[in-house]
Amino acid sequence: MNALVRAIFIALLVLPAGLAHAIEAISVQPEQEKVDITAKGELYEGRGDKLQIETAPGPDGYIGRMAVQASTPGTNPGWLVFALSNPTSERIVRWLVAPRYTLADSRVFWPELDAGRVSAVTPSLGFRPEPLKSDRADMFRLNLEPGQTITFAAEMSSAQVPRLTLWDPNAYQSKQQDRMLFNGVLLGITGLLAIFLTAIFAANHRAIFPATALVAWAALAYFCVDFGFWNKLFPVGPDRTALYRAAAEAGLAASLVLFLYAFLRIGLWHVWIRTLFWCWIAAQFGLIFVAIVDPAFASGLARASTLAIAGVGTGLIAYLALRGQDRALALIPSWMLLVVWLFGAAMVVLGKLSGDVVISGLVAGLVLILVLLGFTVTQFAFRSTAGALNLGPPSLVQVKSLAVDGSGAYIFQWHAGKHLITVASEVEKELGLDPGSLTLPVEEFLQHMHNSDRERFRLMLWSLQEKQGGDLQIDFRLRRHDGTYLWYDLRGHATPSDNARLLRFVGLMRDVTSLKRSHERLMHDAVHDSLTGLPNRELFMDRLSGAITRSREGQANRPTVIFIDIDRFKNVNKSFGLVIGDSMLLTLGRRLSRHLNPQDTLARLGGDQFAILLISETDPHHVATLAERVRRALRTPMKISAKEIVLTASIGIVVHDGSQVTGQDMLREGEIAMLRAKRGGADRIEIFNPSMRGEDESRLPLESDLRKALERQQIAVLYQPITRLASNQLAGFEALLRWDHPTRGRLGAEDFIPLAEETGMIVELGSYVLSKALEEAAGWHKVLPRDRDPLFVSVNVSSRQLFRQDMVQEIRLMLAREAVPRGTLKLEITESLVMENPERAVEILTWLKTFGASLALDDFGTGYCSLSYLHRFPCDTIKVDRSLVRDSGLNGSTPLILRSIIALAHELGKEVVAEGVETAADASYLRSIGCEYGQGYYYGEPMAAKDVGSLLAALASHRKRKDRERAREPQTPKGLEVQAPGATILKALPAPGASS
């Protein structure tokens, strides 16, 4: 009984000292490279500063006891007890390694970043193990003699259980060398990537490069700390490693937020979103400074924020990708890999995964993510035209983007791989469709398109796929909800791609319905008569030439031309007025149209002349019957103001017999037949026969001579002075054409200009007189320079010239070549010419005025110009016909009309030139009623260019003489009237027309 009490008493005395039972020894073999001690040892915590343990039984089975005490009293450390045995006959040396930091099971919040793990190791036999120097681990040298079994007690210096590993020294050193090589490769790749992204910013100034480079630099700093290179680069104490590790983790998280902001162009979003992101970025970078105070706290917040960054970034990328943003689509692969990497890192930090292979894989994965980010950014930046981060004024690309948004253009996208077309919602709204109605596969989208445009649109998309990229420009019609169509112009670009399924086309759509209608109206007006809407001479000649060509090739019937001229129609205009005359022409056009088939053409050639191109009938009898029906239809009475008016027509018929080379030849023969009918009396029909070709002896030779006149320099340009009435000062000249015919003498413009207009030579003549007049005018300004009101030259323009496609460009080049002052060239256009096609005339005249030419409306008061159009024409000057000046001295309404025209011109801001000034009384009267300019024989006859030079030289000499006299007379007496030198010189010179 006493023995039992003593045993209990001894046990109670031993318990406070922390008695530990004997453990099983770990057999250490020479071939073993490493042994995991943590898993095979026994852990004792909360046993106080002293611990008594039973040693592992030796070879003889003896179990002893050993007591260990904490290195620092009062710390109450934990103890890891293990036993090692050497069953061999040789001494075994091993290194006990406890890494100071490992990512595995390091926790998210308040992680142990870098701390001592084992402060001391106490053996049951022999000397204390020798500590080995290392910056990355607590290491001790253990010696096991042959046959020995030694129990070790490792005193832990941290709350976290260390990972103890028993290493063969050679194996450990070899492993460390391999790890250093692996770490060096990763450091090299990361460093080169960071340098590359930083350096490339100098060549391509886009903010996404420094933002991505910052991520690479932050990762490089983290690797330097984690791989132990930081202490080698900067000699600092081991206790500062935790600070650097926490700062590196915080910097890496902050750089990811900045990268998202830059690459996804968050700076272009709403101001509150921008502000929120900048606050987030500032907070993330603030964690770097928090690490100085509390590294564990800063590291925990950085790790938690990394998960938040992954979540927010994934949401933003998904949102933008669904809206089709290219940046988000390009970032998806890299970001998804980053999310997977973060998941793996979280599992390691939480202790769910561990091991050197797992941690090495995480490090290599982070480097791979950095490489992918760099590749994505580089590829996208060099094929993109937009910057990412805007910290200052808007970039040029952003300004262009805003301009596109404000221009009314809409986004159009086509994804070749998905065969999907996406159109902006604004287009759907314009068409009256529901949102998303035009986000369709290609074939379904084509159902909304006009039938005539579908195949062309399909072929254009197919062409893009075949070429694997390129530009596209096409216009097409889309159907509205009410069945009508709107025109759209599509222009865009498909980025070249080797894979047709990855081809993506992006373009801008613009509603061009009004523009199309304007163009169609202009095109219609260009080839149709503005009064009747019938084809004009140009369209008729085009169709006639095509019919002759098809007939010659045997593809169609022989064409027949019926030339119609209304008899005495000018008398009808004089008797009833132009409005009634126009109404009659409209009625005649409708009557003629009733007798034609769809394949035939009725055209108004001009004035009171019509022409029919007959394709449907070839039988002579049927043609004659048709002509008779036309004649009777035209002479059917028309009731005008309770009166019946009967109009008749002279009709000429010509059938293509193969001798006519061109349509112009055939039309001329029809005109000859019409003239034969007219000479025979009104209301007649005449069929052309070859014997009529010699009847027009006067006209055809004249036409032939006119074609050679320019080559032989027989066309002369004369200049008639135009004077400013208020000061009797020379203002300019009008260029007039004269033909010095070798046999007929000098012919006036009225003798050959109509022929030139009919034959088309008016274009060549007009270009000649424009070039000649501008060349002379440039010389005038050198002889008689004027700072104000420089001399001008007026040139008449015909309809063939004005409506010619290259007319505007030709005049622009002439003005640029001669470099004359603005307003030197004054183009004179008649009322009737403008009214042929008012809309197109306004467009052309506006362009001419823009290039520096001034415009004059010629023969005003003799035509039928509508006052509603007068204010639309951009003319500077109105020329009053000589008939109004001639009759201004008579009693009646003519003086009133003349004064009204001048008053109207002044109200419209236009100057007036009066033609036909023959006497001083004419000049005085015109001056009194406010007319600015006068032109006529009173001021001078048309003169040759050399006479103009003599006149200007005399004026210049006179002006110099006056200037010298004025210099000698310092003051001119008041009330003394000084006569303009121009008038004196003009009256003193002999009539220049005689010398030319």
Q: How would you write 325-369 as a 3-class SS string?
A: CHHHHHHHHHHHHHHHHHHHHHHHHCCCCCCHHHHHHHHHHHHHH
Q: Is the pLDDT of residue 608 over 80?
A: yes
pLDDT single digits (tens) 936-977 = 999 999 999 999 999 999 988 988 888 888 777 655 444 333
**CB atoms < 10 A from the CB of 804, how many?**
17
Alpha-carbon distances of 576 from 583, 584, 591, 596, 644, rounded to whole Å: 11, 11, 21, 30, 12
Encode 283-319: b = buried (16+ Cβ within 10 Å), e = exposed. ebbebbebbeeebbbbbbbbbebbbebbeebeebbee
Which residues neighbour 82 within 8 Å (Cβ) at sequence distance 6 or greater? 23, 26, 37, 40, 41, 42, 151, 152, 154, 164
Distance between CA 799 and CA 801 in Å, rounded? 5
pLDDT single digits (tens) 510-526 = 888 888 888 878 777 77
Alpha-carbon distances of 272 from 268, 275, 282, rounded to whole Å: 11, 5, 15
Mean pLDDT (the chain) is: 81
Higher pLDDT, residue 139 or 978: 139
Return the SS3 of 798. Answer: coil
| Distance from the first to the final alpha carbon of the chain | 165
Region of poorest pLDDT, from 170-174, 190-194, 353-357, 417-421: 353-357
Q: Is the pLDDT of residue 425 over 90?
A: no
Residue 479: its pLDDT value, please? 92
* 878 Ramachandran zone, left/alpha/beta (phi>0; psi -120 to 50): beta
**Are the C-beta atoms of 407 and 505 separated by less than 8 Å?**
no
Of 349, 368, 261, 266, nearest in space to 307 by CA: 349
Once rounded to an integer, what is the mean pLDDT over residues 217-245?
A: 74
What tokens were used for 956?
Answer: 């210049």
**Are the C-beta atoms of 445 and 421 separated by less than 8 Å?**
yes
Which residues neighbour 43 within 8 Å (Cβ) at sequence distance 6 or greater? 78, 79, 80, 81, 161
Residue 892: its pLDDT value, please? 58
**Are the C-beta atoms of 846 and 829 separated by less than 8 Å?**
no
Which residues neighbour 219 within 8 Å (Cβ) at sequence distance 6 or greater? 190, 252, 366, 367, 370
**CB atoms < 10 A from the CB of 419, how many?**
15
Once rounded to an integer, what is the mean pLDDT over residues 674-699?
A: 75
Inter-residue long-range contacts of 107-111, CB under 8 Å, 24+ positions, other chains counted:
107/300, 107/349, 107/350, 108/300, 108/303, 108/304, 108/346, 108/349, 108/350, 109/300, 109/303, 109/304, 110/296, 110/297, 110/300, 111/296, 111/299, 111/300, 111/303, 111/349
Strands, sheet with 65-69, edge to edge from the N-terminal-most edge strand = 19-20, 50-54, 65-69
**What is the CA angle 820-930-833, rounded to 5?**
55
**Are the C-beta atoms of 709 and 747 separated by less than 8 Å?**
no
Once rounded to an integer, what is the mean pLDDT over residues 127-149?
A: 86
Of 525, 558, 554, 559, nearest in space to 541 by CA: 559
Distance between CA 13 and CA 393 in Å, rounded? 82
Q: Cα 880 to chain center, whole Å?
A: 49
Encode 1-24: b = buried (16+ Cβ within 10 Å), e = exposed. eeeeeeeeeeeeeeeeebbbebbe
Distance between CA 648 and CA 681 in Å, rounded? 10
Q: Is the pLDDT of residue 993 over 70?
A: no
pLDDT single digits (tens) 541-565 = 999 999 988 888 877 788 999 999 9
* Dihedral angle, C-alpha 835, 840, 841, 847, nearest 10 °: 170
Higher pLDDT, residue 525 or 875: 875
Q: Cα 485 to chain center, whole Å?
A: 26
Q: Which residues is 602 bridged to in the sheet?
A: 612
Q: Which residue has the tokens 């097409």?
A: 476
Distance between CA 673 and CA 565 in Å, rounded? 11
Once rounded to an integer, what is the mean pLDDT over residues 183-210?
A: 81
Distance between CA 772 and CA 828 in Å, rounded? 16
What tokens were used for 604?
Answer: 């108004």
Alpha-carbon distances of 744 from 364, 701, 710, 739, 859, rounded to whole Å: 102, 12, 16, 9, 29
**Are the C-beta atoms of 721 and 986 separated by less than 8 Å?**
yes
Radius of gyration of the chain (CA): 52
Q: Is the pLDDT of residue 987 over 70?
A: no
Q: Is the pLDDT of residue 14 over 50?
A: no
Higher pLDDT, residue 109 or 594: 594
At 2, the pLDDT band (50, 70, 90 cuts) reads low
pLDDT single digits (tens) 790-805 = 899 999 988 777 777 7
Residue 466: its pLDDT value, please? 77
Which residues neighbour 859 within 8 Å (Cβ) at sequence distance 6 or greater? 830, 831, 879, 881
pLDDT single digits (tens) 78-98 = 888 999 988 888 888 988 998
Once rounded to an integer, what is the mean pLDDT over residues 753-758?
A: 76
Q: Is the pLDDT of residue 844 over 70?
A: yes
**Are the C-beta atoms of 24 and 115 separated by less than 8 Å?**
no
Distance between CA 664 and CA 670 in Å, rounded? 10
Residue 395: its pLDDT value, please? 59
Q: Is the pLDDT of residue 53 over 70?
A: yes
What tokens were used for 695?
Answer: 């009847």
Residue 21: its pLDDT value, please? 60
Once rounded to an integer, what is the mean pLDDT over residues 306-330?
A: 85
Higher pLDDT, residue 469 or 960: 960
Residue 236: its pLDDT value, please? 62
**What is the CA angle 179-181-183, rounded to 5?**
65
Half-sphere exposure of 636 (CA within 13 A, CB side): 12
Alpha-carbon distances of 398 from 166, 268, 291, rounded to whole Å: 63, 9, 39
Once rounded to an integer, what is the mean pLDDT over residues 832-843?
A: 75
Residue 682: its pLDDT value, please? 77
Distance between CA 549 and CA 867 in Å, rounded? 44
Which residues neighbour 365 within 8 Å (Cβ) at sequence distance 6 or greater? 337, 341, 344
**Are the C-beta atoms of 700 and 712 separated by less than 8 Å?**
no
State what percent of residues in the chain have pLDDT above 70.
87
Of 267, 281, 263, nearest in space to 372 by CA: 263
Q: Is the pLDDT of residue 315 over 50?
A: yes
Half-sphere exposure of 556 (CA within 13 A, CB side): 19
Which residues neighbour 131 within 8 Å (Cβ) at sequence distance 6 or greater? 138, 139, 140, 141
Residue 417: its pLDDT value, please? 79
Q: Which residue has the tokens 């694997």?
A: 468
**Are the C-beta atoms of 774 and 733 separated by less than 8 Å?**
no
Q: Is the pLDDT of residue 10 over 60?
A: no
Q: Quick one: DSSP state of residue 392?
A: S
Of 634, 633, 626, nearest in space to 653 by CA: 626
Position 684: which residue type? R
Domains of the chain: 2-167 (no CATH), 180-383 (1.20.1070), 408-511 (3.30.450.20), 528-698 (3.30.70.270), 711-981 (3.20.20.450)
